[in-house]
Amino acid sequence: MRRSDTARDLHHGLWAEMFGTAIPLVGLLTLVLLGFTIATIVNTFAMEAAVLFVPAFLFLFPVLVPGFPDLATNGAIGLALYVELFGYSSSVAAYWYRHQIDFNVAGKLLVLTIPAAVLARTVSYAVPSTLLMIGFGVLLVALSLVLYEAHEHGPSIVDAVAEKPELSLLSVLHTDYEPRTRVLSDRHDASETPPSETMGGAAETPAERSNSRALMGDGDDTTAFHMEPPDVLITLGGGTLAGLVGIAIGELTQTMLAIRRRVPLALSTGTAALVLHATIVAALVTNVGLLTFAPSLTSGLSVPFVTGSFVAAGCVVGGQAGAYLNNRLPESTVMVLLIVVYAAVGLFVLVRTIVYGGGAH
């Protein structure tokens, strides 16, 4: 062995000991840049981060980042859950600050989503990787079709959101056109629905109340939020999908609150974000617990959390950049691009998995 090779090996050994990863400095900088880019995209289009991070960890990062490990499907999902933790913590804090979360309603949903996510994340290690990826791809294609149907009926949707800038585009995308427009025109009256004490700060001013930051949260029996059988099924389904593949809990919760239960859209967005965040955290903690205490169950798989921390560092900045761009792009443009991204990623995952058997190479 030449002396230069020995020096290089020693340098890499010291680097790995210092940072807990064998990825060289240029690779770590690439991780930060890729994390920033993907986080900017997902926040610009208001999509769940795992939509892009799971396929990126499987197919993109091993090609672009020197030393990035080839991950199994569950390893990629686990790493995506970890990276999402950082972005969702920031967004939930923002919704809480704006009084857009009702913790009473969120608590009733989380009682169902957290156990479902924990069980699904545990069971996911017994599900063939190919089946997980096919389910992931099919789910994305299905969401793109739902969004396309909404877009085809949707000039008035964009107009309605433009007239009410406090509403999120994501709040009005995921259901059929007629029920959605009724929600937009049938806002809750604060005189009928007093502010909930479990909100992120009760509505304190007439302006907050007129913006529908009041909810049938606790109140009396006529205004309390009661779970109905369809709500239970939707909530359990969202928690299960979050545990299996890390996506869809946000869309399903938002749809159930805003459309089925006529919760004001500004408030349903923040409440759904909290449900998504806490459910993802439960799935992540379960994943870490399985890797640590039940390695036989996970078949020796690992999740490179230290490596993921560099991706998360880029996500912190990318999340802010994406929010900035989202507020400046026309709503119709965001909708079209969201459809394209969901469909393109879903089809790519399906083709890559079915034709080539998955994997990065």
Task: Give strand pairing partners of 157.
Answer: none
Going by C-alpha positions, the residue among 112, 113, 179 that lies closest to residue 149 is 179
Higher pLDDT, 336 or 186: 336
Assign 358 a pLDDT band (cuts: 50, 70, 90). Answer: low
3 in any annotated domain: no
Contacts of 242 (CB under 8 A, 6+ apart): 113, 116, 117, 120, 248, 249, 276, 279, 280, 283
Assign 318 a pLDDT band (cuts: 50, 70, 90). Answer: confident
20 in any annotated domain: no
* pLDDT one-digit tens code per residue, 172-183: 443 333 333 333
* Total domains in the fold of the chain: 1
13 in any annotated domain: no
Q: Is the pLDDT of residue 186 over 50?
A: no
Largest Cα–Cα distance in the chain?
81
Record the pTM. Answer: 0.74
Higher pLDDT, 142 or 219: 142
Assign 192 a pLDDT band (cuts: 50, 70, 90). Answer: very low
Q: Is the pLDDT of residue 234 over 70?
A: yes
- Tell me what pLDDT residue 183 has: 34
9 in any annotated domain: no
Query: Which structural domain range is residue 102 located in?
Result: 30-61+71-356
97 in any annotated domain: yes
Assign 120 a pLDDT band (cuts: 50, 70, 90). Answer: very high
23 in any annotated domain: no
* pLDDT one-digit tens code per residue, 329-355: 787 787 788 889 989 999 999 999 998
- Tell me what pLDDT residue 185 has: 33
25 in any annotated domain: no
- Tell me what pLDDT residue 225 has: 79
Mean pLDDT value across the chain: 76
- Tell me what pLDDT residue 322 has: 80
- Tell me what pLDDT residue 20 has: 55
Q: Is the pLDDT of residue 31 over 90?
A: yes
Q: CA dihedral defined by 256, 265, 245, 58, rounded to 10 degrees?
A: 160
313 in any annotated domain: yes
Assign 80 a pLDDT band (cuts: 50, 70, 90). Answer: very high
Q: Please give the structure tokens belonging to residue 29.
A: 């900088």
Q: Is the pLDDT of residue 19 over 80?
A: no
Percent of the chain beyond pLDDT 70?
Answer: 71
In the predicted model, what is the mean pLDDT of residues 217-221?
Answer: 41
Instruction: Please state the separation of Cα 126 from the chain's center in Å.
Output: 23
